[in-house]
Amino acid sequence: MSIYATLWRLKFPKYGDIHTGCDWVEVTAQGVPPHIGSSTPGLGYEDGDPYADFLPPALTTDENGDAEFMRAVVIITEETVKGTARHPQEYVNPLLTLEGKKYANMTFAELHTRICDALRSNQPRLVMETIAPDGSVLLDFEDGSSRNA
């Protein structure tokens, strides 16, 4: 059984910046409910949190396992693999792992920027797209580099 619940799926530019002809990738938010790993008696984790090595700290919940926020939200792509040598529930290279409270208090614009930055990785941000009269497209990046689309 998975510790994750799918919250949403959206398409994002594969490398973080939208431009003519860009490829798209499906990005998924996986929520971790508050009871997962909680030390609240009766929830099954009295012997410790088996997810502490790869998730934000466990939450204190009520007796039903409920809390105001999820424990975490893990943002992944369709290429993200689940299951590591350390733990079968751990994602290999998720785009983002956020505390549930932080996720709940972010604007969509903030989340969008964080996801695009993660997709872009160490590549410079696209600042301009130029479409020539012949239809060719030139992409200009914040570091001064350019390439054809």
Domain boundaries, the chain: 5-123
Q: What is the pLDDT averaged over residues 98-120?
A: 98
Written as six digits, the tokens of 12 are: 């994002």
Residue 16 pLDDT > 90, yes or no? Answer: yes
pLDDT for the residue numbered 125:
95
Given a contact cutoff of 8 angstroms between Cβ atoms, the answer to whether 33 and 5 are in contact is yes
Compute the distance between CA of residue 38 and CA of residue 58 in angstroms, rounded to an integer: 5
Assessment of whether the complete model's pTM goes beyond 0.95: no
- Cα 36 to the chain's mean position, in Å? 19
